[in-house]
Amino acid sequence: MAFEYLSNVALDEAVSGFLAALDERGFAPRKEYVPVGEALGRVTAEPLYAAISAPHYHACAMDGIAVAAKATFGATATTPVTVQPEDYIVVDTGDPLPESCDAVVMIEDVVFEEGHGIDELGTCPVILHASIAPWGNVRQIGEDICAGEMLLTSNVRIEPAAMGAMLAAGVQQVGVIARPRVGIIPTGDEVVEPSANPKPGDVMEFNSTIFSGMVRQWGADPVAYPIVADKPDLVQKALVKAVSECDIVLLNAGSSAGRDDYSSRVVAAVGEVLYHGIAMKPGKPAILGCAANTAIVGVPGYPVSGIIVIEQMVKPLIEKLLGCSTPGGDRVKATLARPCTSSLKYEEFVRVRVGKVGDKLVATPLSRGAGVVTSFVKADGIMTIPQNSEGYEAGDQVDVRLLRPLADIERSLVVIGSHDPLIDEIAQLIHKSNPELSVASTHVGSMGGIVAAKRGENHCGGIHLLDEATGTYNEPYLEKHFPKGGVRQVECVYRQQGLMVAPGNPLGIQSLADLTREGRRFVNRQKGSGTRILSDFVCKRDGIDTGAIYGYDHEEFTHTAVAALVEAGSADAGMGIYSAAKMYGLGFVPVCEEQYDLLIPDYAWDTPMVQALLEVLASDAFRARMEELGGYRLDHPGRVRRHFE
Ligand SMILES: Nc1nc2c(c(=O)[nH]1)N[C@H]1C(S)=C(S)[C@@H](COP(=O)(O)OP(=O)(O)OC[C@H]3O[C@@H](n4cnc5c(N)ncnc54)[C@H](O)[C@@H]3O)O[C@H]1N2
Ligand code: MOO
């Protein structure tokens, strides 16, 4: 029988069971009073009533003269009424309405007799060409709110205008729900304070920073505790202290089954373990427990797993302690751009890029690695795949919770195609000159870009597909894949492709043929990428058996990923562009100059995003930046090479 070390409880069941157990143990909101000036964003703990009326006196609402309305009755354009100086009082907006007056005439409606002017206002008679109704231009006592009326119910977030209303209504202290205190304990012998030059094996402690930011955004107060070594008694001591000081304690890492994974034992020693092992991915080894009325969550060490666990399990706890919901992203349906399989055993949470192409939202799955924290930086949303589902096919409608406002997503240029660092540079230039626009790029190779355009799922894609028969780039492929037209082939750059090797090329690698030698290791690009087609082409042309190249089936998705592996010494060579080699300080053996074009479907041509892209391509700033990166030649970027109509 397989070693089953954890349970596999459905996520919903675990969260509701956890909340119910905590409820029984007195896990509830606490109340405190704060000055109104400090109440922004806090949640009211009780209904809030006006102490006085606002305004608390009859206030003049306009600059002009206060009068008894009666004195103006009958005034019209043809039958003006003259008011004597002793029958009116000059007032400004906000002044208390003088006694004996019950209306205010605006200064622009006041006319002077021949020989008098504004300087004499107050001492000369004035003429009115219209009557004013009683209480005209007066803000009566309690117009805004009357003493004793309810200003806010309990359990609402306090907004700036509400703070002003409280002060106007004579309220100076407000009863709010105390911010939940969330303690975060990082553990692990390998975990160290962040630095710019960590030693091999050091894991920089950044989870606390992520988790603190998340709970702070939801209205809790994070308390970051120092890193604790992997010693059960030290972890226990830290947990006891945190439990006595906080409402919720996050014990970070050691939730799994490794030799130093003590978390569940320690939680059991300090309090009780309610659940260990949840049917979710990532995050399955999470621990839910408590000690007295403090909740304890054993959060897995991988940052992505931690983020998902905190969203799914800690957010409901904070909401419970705040007595109100926290802001969350819109939920939308999107069309999946690539297939995404899933285990029947778990509910899965997959980071996705989301863009709007035509009238459909398109979701492209990002890296699913639990350690890939940048996938959250790139993500526009989280797709959920229910437990008991084997996943989705490309084109399926999927559920996505957005991490950015929909309006921003609708204004992003969806780039799906071949990878080149220039895509990020274009993104920077587009966003700099059009702050309302952004770029969402996904790297799926040139063929992936063509497929996306056929399905109406991108605004543009980089392509560099060499046609062996003609020796030309891209055009023959577009002819074949778009027989009915509907796309433009737009010139972008010419770039140097070659073998990226260790600095100074110590192994003297001159060609792919050299990589068939014993002990040489290659790293390749994924099938369908233009760079892969180039490697395959060169091997075929030169009669090289790809099976004889160690690592030919080791595939990476980007030039930079290949460069990083060569730099780390995990491979001796990889095919890629000069700029990536330069970025990593690597040696470079040129293989060819290739034509990197952009494929732009007709349906996207007139969008503001594509128009901004064309402007950037033609700009001096783009040219200058490409020169800095190196390995590019620019002729007429942005020019339409051919419109396939
Ligand atoms: N035999 C098995 N091993 C593992 C399984 C499994 O099912 N069987 N599950 C894996 C899964 S899934 C996850 S998630 C992790 C959970 O691991 P732990 O919670 O025990 O955490 P560690 O192993 O201590 O750390 C994982 C990873 O995260 C790094 N880490 C830890 N703390 C921090 C921090 N504060 N800041 C940044 N990074 C941190 C740590 O160094 C590790 O690299 O277990 C799998 N194993
Ligand atoms: O649960 Mo782990 O969090 O799947 O990576």
Question: Which of 219, 218, 163, 178 is CA-nearest to residue 48?
Answer: 163
Alpha helices by DSSP H, 80-169? 160-168
Burial of 53: CB neighbours in 10 Å, binned 0-12, 13-18, 19+: buried
d(C-alpha 23, C-alpha 33), whole Å: 24
Match 């306090």 to its residue by tokens.
158
Compute the distance from residue 72 Cα to the ligand 2 centre, in Å: 79
pLDDT, tens only, 146-169: 999 999 999 999 999 999 999 999
Residue 110: in which H helix or E strand, if any? strand 110-112
24 Cβ contact list (under 8 Å, min separation 6): none
Ligand 1 site, residue 574, Cβ cutoff 6 A: no
pLDDT, tens only, 592-633: 999 999 999 999 999 999 999 999 999 999 999 999 999 999
DSSP 318-386: HHHHHTSPPP-PPEEEEEESS-EE--TTSEEEEEEEEEEETTEEEEEE----TT-THHHHH-SEEEEE-
- Ligand 2 atom nearest to CA at 308: 3
**Phi, psi of 374, rounded to the nearest 5 degrees:** -70, -15
Alpha helices by DSSP H, 11-101? 11-24
Ligand 1 site, residue 239, Cβ cutoff 6 A: no
Provide the sign of the torsion angle of the four alpha carbons 39, 41, 45, 50, taken in this order. Answer: positive
| Among 11, 255, 284, 343, residue to substitute to test ligand 2 (most atoms within 8 Å of Cβ) | 284
This prediction has a pTM of: 0.85
Query: What mean pLDDT do residues 344-356 have?
Result: 95
- Ligand 2 atom nearest to CA at 284: 1
Query: What mean pLDDT do residues 365-378 have?
Result: 86
> Token pair for residue 151?
């200003």
Ligand 1 site, residue 355, Cβ cutoff 6 A: no
Q: Fold identical between 11-28+180-322 and 446-644? A: no
pLDDT above 80 for 3: no
**ipTM score of the complex?**
0.95
| Among 207, 256, 310, residue to substitute to test ligand 1 (most atoms within 8 Å of Cβ) | 256
Q: Ligand 2 atom 4: the closest Cα is on which residue?
A: 282
Q: Ligand 1 atom 30: the closest Cα is on which residue?
A: 301
Compute the distance from residue 253 Cα to the ligand 1 centre, in Å: 6
How many Å is the maximal CA-CA distance in the chain?
A: 112
Under a CB-based contact definition with an 8 Å cutoff, are residues 411 and 432 in contact? Answer: no
pLDDT above 90 for 334: yes
Per domain, the residue ranges of the chain are: 11-28+180-322, 32-50+145-177, 59-139, 446-644
Taking domain 59-139, whether its CATH number is 2.170.190.11 is answered by yes
Residue 398: in which H helix or E strand, if any? strand 397-402
Which ligand is closest in space to the CA of residue 191?
1
CA-based end-to-end distance of the chain = 62
Q: How do 287-291 and 294-299 pair as beta strands?
A: antiparallel
d(C-alpha 632, C-alpha 635), whole Å: 10
| Among 195, 267, 281, 302, residue to substitute to test ligand 1 (most atoms within 8 Å of Cβ) | 302
Ligand 1 site, residue 212, Cβ cutoff 6 A: no
Which ligand is closest in space to the CA of residue 301?
1
Compute the distance from residue 369 Cα to the ligand 2 centre, in Å: 9
Compute the distance from residue 371 Cα to the ligand 2 centre, in Å: 9
Q: Of 3.40.640.10, 3.90.110.10, 3.40.980.10, 1.20.1250.20, which CATH number belongs to 11-28+180-322?
A: 3.40.980.10
Q: Ligand 1 atom 46: the closest Cα is on which residue?
A: 256
For domain 446-644, the CATH class is alpha beta
pLDDT, tens only, 486-529: 999 999 999 999 999 999 999 999 999 999 999 999 999 999 88
Under a CB-based contact definition with an 8 Å cutoff, are residues 441 and 428 in contact? Answer: no
- What 3-state DSSP class applies to 621? helix
| Among 5, 6, 199, 203, residue to substitute to test ligand 1 (most atoms within 8 Å of Cβ) | 203
Query: What mean pLDDT do residues 437-445 have?
Result: 90
pLDDT, tens only, 384-434: 999 999 999 988 999 999 999 999 999 999 999 998 999 999 999 999 999
Compute the distance from residue 302 Cα to the ligand 1 centre, in Å: 5
Compute the distance from residue 370 Cα to the ligand 2 centre, in Å: 6
- What's the CATH superfamily of 32-50+145-177? Molybdopterin biosynthesis moea protein, domain 2 (3.90.105.10)
Under a CB-based contact definition with an 8 Å cutoff, are residues 305 and 373 in contact? Answer: no
d(C-alpha 452, C-alpha 414), whole Å: 10
